[in-house]
Amino acid sequence: MPETQCCENPPTLSITSVGIGCVAEIGGLKPYITGPPDAKLAVLLVSDVFGYEAPKLRKLADKVASRGFYVVVLHFIYGDPYVPDNPKRPIAVWRQSHGTVCFDFQFKSLSV
């Protein structure tokens, strides 16, 4: 898929799309977190180039959380989402400042 296809129908970005959850700092990242902290199961979502300010992504996370899941939406673009309306920074230029993200996650099973 050419890189421009993913940007043809961008979401409406809004700082007012706060959702039910909160943003917290964990390991240098600032994920959107929602759902009961004592949940037995968790769901990990990853935002796209538009970040987690997209209201539909937060609504999706909140909807999953309403079913009893603890939801974490990771945000690997560090507060610098792609803005399609910025002619000085097309997607090819934006990508130059956002290299490949690689993490080594260690998951632990917790006895409750």
What are the tens digits of pLDDT across the range 64-99?
Answer: 999 999 999 987 777 788 888 888 888 888 888 877
Contacts of 80 (CB under 8 A, 6+ apart): 51, 97, 98
Flag whether the pTM goes above 0.75.
no
3-state secondary structure (DSSP) of residue 74: strand
pLDDT digits (tens, 9 = 90+) for 5-36: 666 766 666 655 567 899 888 777 788 999 99
- Cα dihedral 93→94→99→101 (10° resolution): -160
| Nearest partner of 57 among 68, 69, 66, 48, judged by Cα | 48
Torsion 46-49-54-56 (CA) sign:
negative
Let me know: does 45 contact 60? Beta carbons within 8 Å. Answer: yes
User: So what's the pLDDT on residue 37?
Assistant: 92
